[in-house]
Amino acid sequence: MQFNWENIGIKTRVEKNKQYFFDPIRKRYLLVTPEEEVRQWIIYHLTHELDYPATNIAVEKQIKYLKRNKRFDVLIYKGGEPKLLIECKAPNVAINQLTLNQIATYNFTLNVPYLLLTNGAQQLCCRVNSVTKTCEFLSAIPPYKSL
């Protein structure tokens, strides 16, 4: 999947024959990789099409799981609490049980009510019931106000 960043207003630049784009959350230029493109696409989609506030988005932060350092892709906060955890994969990586297991592992630490997996072409979103330890799969990303 190839995104045209200039068409949606994201600044790009080329240095030493490598393309970079400006990440509005981390406030710096990043090398364009397939996974980073998906990460930037979902951030754009959330902030410009679903009205998620950019100030409530954390990107690529470290967490601890069983004394190991892990790094999540995107985390949405509301009212100071983490609400939606997003795992981004390159477009050629399938969204399947393995990727669901990965995001569920991160959620043992974060305990958020919503999970989203995306590779840019496919998305899987679910609401987690922490009491029954089950997931309800959703047909769409929930609006920010309902988190």
pLDDT score of 96 more than 60: yes
Q: Is 4 a domain residue?
A: no
What confidence score (pLDDT) does residue 95 get? 94
Which CATH number characterizes residue 75's domain? 3.90.320.10
Q: Could you tell me if residue 16 is inside a domain?
A: no
19 domain-assigned: no
pLDDT at residue 2 is higher than 60: no
* pLDDT tens, residue by residue, 35-69: 998 999 999 999 998 999 999 999 998 888 778 88
Give CA–CA dist 113/90, Å, rounded. 24
Q: 120 near 1, Cβ under 8 Å? A: yes
Tell me whether residue 135 is in a domain. yes
Q: Which pLDDT does position 64 carry in this prediction?
A: 81
State the average pLDDT over residues 23-30: 93
pLDDT exceeds cutoff 90 at 131: no
Can you give the pLDDT at residue 10? 78
Residue 131 lies in a domain: yes
pTM higher than 0.85: yes
DSSP state of 141: P
> What pLDDT score was predicted for residue 7?
65
Rounded Cα distance between 57 and 54, Å, is 5
Mean pLDDT of 16-28: 93
Distance CA 74, CA 40 (A): 10
Give domain status of residue 11, yes or no: no
Q: Is residue 7 part of a domain?
A: no
- Average pLDDT along the chain: 90
* Structural domain count, the chain: 1
Range of the structural domain that residue 72 is part of: 33-146
- Gap between the Cα atoms of 36 and 105, Å rounded: 21
* Domain annotation covers residue 37: yes
User: Is pLDDT above 50 for 1?
Assistant: no
